[in-house]
Amino acid sequence: MNATSPNLSYLLTNNLAERVAGISQAVAVSADGLLLAWTDGLNHDAAERVAAVAAGLSSLLNGAALDLNAGPVQGNITELGAGFLILMAVGSGASLLALTTRDADLAFVTTELGRFAEQVGDQLTPAFAGALTVAGRR
């Protein structure tokens, strides 16, 4: 468990990464790019960098979608040498970013990411991140 949000990180690790075949790491990021939770396999510094990537990728994709009159981004899959990065929009600009293995069933993984997003989406806000800071957990 990590210091950002123990309950949310527990859910991210145990209800997503350990339960869904193919997911190896994941982070939850607020709309303004603050790291809210991450899976146990990432250290804090790496999780912060990955959160920044998730926020930047989300912003770039939403900018392109706006210019193309394509509506808001729902998600993105990026192929890597060893797997896939899946970015999923959650509620008010927050996002989940998951790393999968190369042989992951992407349809299943994205479905499960969507279910997880429905469960915790209301927690992934800048206000939640602010509450963590006040509580001394950031």
Give the integer Cα–Cα distance in Å for 9 and 1.
6
User: In angstroms, what CA-CA distances link 13 with 25, 32, 92?
Assistant: 8, 23, 23
Which residue type occupies 107? A
Q: Are 83 and 109 in contact (CB under 8 A)?
A: no
Predicted confidence (pLDDT) at residue 95 exceeds the cutoff of 80:
yes
Give the integer Cα–Cα distance in Å for 26 and 39.
6
Predicted pLDDT of residue 119: 82
Q: What is the pLDDT of residues 52-82, one digit of tens each?
A: 999 999 999 999 999 999 999 999 999 999 9
C-alpha dihedral, 128 to 138 to 38 to 43, nearest 10°? 170
Q: What is the pLDDT of residues 6-46, one digit of tens each?
A: 577 888 888 788 999 999 999 999 888 889 889 999 999 99
Structure pTM?
0.83
Q: Are 40 and 13 in contact (CB under 8 A)?
A: yes
Please name each of the domains of the chain with its CATH number. 6-133 (3.30.450.30)
Predicted pLDDT of residue 127: 57
Q: How far is CA 36 from the centre of its chain?
A: 9
For tokens 């509580």, what's the residue?
135
